[in-house]
Every structure is written in structure tokens, then in C-alpha cells.
């Protein structure tokens, strides 16, 4: 999708394969103009709630796209705290 969005000067609308709100969000983050999610909503246990989830996901994805996504690391998260491991060195004080 990312390649299509960058190479085509027309709006890209995703009309297949969207089963979760997070997928709709990701499509919008890539710059798609819209997503269609009929089956995902219609077959959920709570249609109204799922429709709302898709609405919020699409809005979030569009806002993220317009804001310009930050960098995403392609590996597992690393601790960023300078206190990493401090609990291992901690000796609790005894209560008297």
C-alpha cells in the first residue's frame, strides 16, 4: 500500500483485507484516503462498538499521517532508563 500511495496521484481506498481497527489505522498512517470495513463490522459481536472502534482508528491513523510519523525501530525495545537494574542492587531496610 505504501508504494501505491506514493506512486499514484489518485486517492487510494482500501477495500479488502481489513479485519481489525489497527489495520485500518495502519492503512491511514501510510496515506490511504479511506478504508472500507463492512465484513469486519457486520460480523462482530457488537456492531455499534466495532464501528466506533474503526472510526476512532481511522481518525487516529489520518492524524498520525498528517503529523508525520516518527522513526520506528525494527527491533525489540531497549530499556532507556539510566536506572536499569537498580532493583537488583536494592537492599530493603528492615522495619523495627
- On whether residue 13 sits in a domain, the answer given is yes
Taking Cα atoms as reference points, which of 51, 48, 5 lies closest to residue 28? 5
Its domain, for residue 54, covers 2-67
Helix 21-29 vs helix 47-67: crossing angle, to nearest 10: 20
Q: What pLDDT is recorded for position 71?
A: 81
Give me the half-sphere count of Cα atoms (radius 13 Å) on the Cβ side of residue 8: 13
- On whether residue 62 sits in a domain, the answer given is yes
Phi, psi at 38, each rounded to 5°:
-60, -55
- On whether residue 88 sits in a domain, the answer given is no
Taking Cα atoms as reference points, which of 96, 94, 13, 24 lies closest to residue 60? 24
pTM: 0.71
The pLDDT profile of the chain, 96 residues, written as one tens digit per residue, is 888 888 989 999 998 889 999 999 999 999 999 999 999 999 999 999 999 999 999 999 999 999 998 887 776 666 666 665 555 655 666 555
Domain count, the chain: 1
- On whether residue 16 sits in a domain, the answer given is yes
Amino acid at each position: 500500500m505504501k508504494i501505491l500511495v506514493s506512486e499514484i496521484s489518485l486517492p487510494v481506498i482500501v477495500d479488502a483485507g481489513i479485519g481489525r481497527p489497527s489495520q485500518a489505522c495502519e492503512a491511514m498512517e501510510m496515506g490511504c484516503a479511506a478504508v472500507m470495513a463492512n465484513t469486519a463490522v457486520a460480523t462482530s459481536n457488537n456492531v455499534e462498538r466495532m464501528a466506533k472502534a474503526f472510526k476512532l482508528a481511522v481518525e487516529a491513523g489520518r492524524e498520525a499521517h498528517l503529523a508525520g510519523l516518527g522513526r520506528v525501530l525494527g527491533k525489540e525495545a531497549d530499556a532507556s532508563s539510566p536506572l536499569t537494574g537498580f532493583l537488583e542492587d536494592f537492599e530493603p531496610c528492615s522495619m523495627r
